[in-house]
Amino acid sequence: MRDSCGSSGTGETPQAFTPRRLTARPAESEQLERKSTTSHYLVNNNKVCENSLLFILIRKDGIKLRSNMGIYGHRGFSGCYPENTMIAFEEAESIGVDGIELDVQMTKDGELVVIHDEKVDRTTNGTGYVKDLSYEQIRLLDAGSWFDPKFSNQIIPSLSEVLEWVKGLDRKLTVNIELKTDRFDYTNIEKNVLSKVYEYQLNDQVIISSFNQNSLKRVREIDPYIQTALLFIGVPSNVLEDARTLRVNGIHCEPQFASSIEGQKMRENGYPIRVYTVNDQSYVNALKKAKASIIMTDFPNRFLSL
């Protein structure tokens, strides 16, 4: 999958993708004006992890020219950058995603860090469980070279770092925080995550999700208003019952659930359906038909222009 990043399809060595927003040339502007009443646009026409050039159209106020499904960068722009690192989040934001999804674990000394696996082995040069390492030890790890040596300067970010960056943006970016408590039920992680969200006053930009229903229950007990979402795999028949019991606001599911009778039942009962992890554009029509509200993808560039 990573081989498609920046490839021109000519057999030439691809250059690193450096997103930037450029003022549209007159001919492009004229074409855009014929398609919409909004006349001021920015155009990103760099090579972006595809075999062909992809144009992503964004209004100057940051609102994309899409009226259907929103796009979240799954662990950031993780198809082209090391997952759950600041560069992956920054590059996802730079091409105009509606939100980012990230994973939170807790260190031995109680710091909230952004990493998917319970162990650091797969995505760093270290070994061991996050829960057995101090924050200082975590910060010394190289979180980029496993993906590509040019990202050797990337480290595991703290949740605070990510939220501070989001707070400083000039637009609202949704942050889906997945509590990774399905294997280790970290003590007070729900309370600690909510404290960070409150600290940066991002209550209205955060969705907290988890596979662990006890975690979702604890979040709702602490905060009756924060957005929460139930994560699950497959097509279970009891999702509506669980969603009501847990008082979640949405569901995060696989494509097959979105298109199922059970998915239809959730839509009819007012639950937004956010679908993970969609990297193949051939799913788009089915997901539009299923009225999915969000696609979560490692390659947001593939979907932003659809």
Q: Choosing from 116, 119, 131, 217, which is the catalytic residue? A: 116
Q: Name the token pair of 255.
A: 């494509």
The amino acid at residue 6 is G
CA angle 225, 259, 273 (to 5 degrees): 15
Other beta carbons less than 10 A from residue 192's beta carbon: 17
Q: Name the token pair of 80.
A: 């082209």
Tell the residue number behind the tokens 């855009």, with chain if given.
32
The amino acid at residue 19 is P
- Under a CB-based contact definition with an 8 Å cutoff, are residues 49 and 6 in contact? yes
Helix, strand, coil: what percent of the chain each, to 5?
30, 20, 50
First to last CA, the chain: 20
Question: If you ran DSSP here, which 8-state letter would residue 182 be given?
Answer: S
H/E run at residue 94 = helix 86-94
Q: Choosing from 17, 49, 56, 74, which is the catalytic residue? A: 74
At residue 273, the 3 state secondary structure works out as strand
- Residue 248: burial class (beta carbons within 10 Å; 0-12, 13-18, 19+): buried
40 among known catalytic residues: no
E strands present in 68-165: 70-74, 99-106, 112-114
- Secondary structure (DSSP) of 113-170: EE-SSSBSTTTSS--SBGGGS-HHHHHTS-SSTTT-GGGTT--PPBHHHHHHHHHTSS
74 among known catalytic residues: yes
Alpha carbon distances (Å) from 157 to 99, 191, 211: 18, 19, 22
Other beta carbons less than 10 A from residue 238's beta carbon: 10
Supply the residues annotated as catalytic. Answer: 74, 116
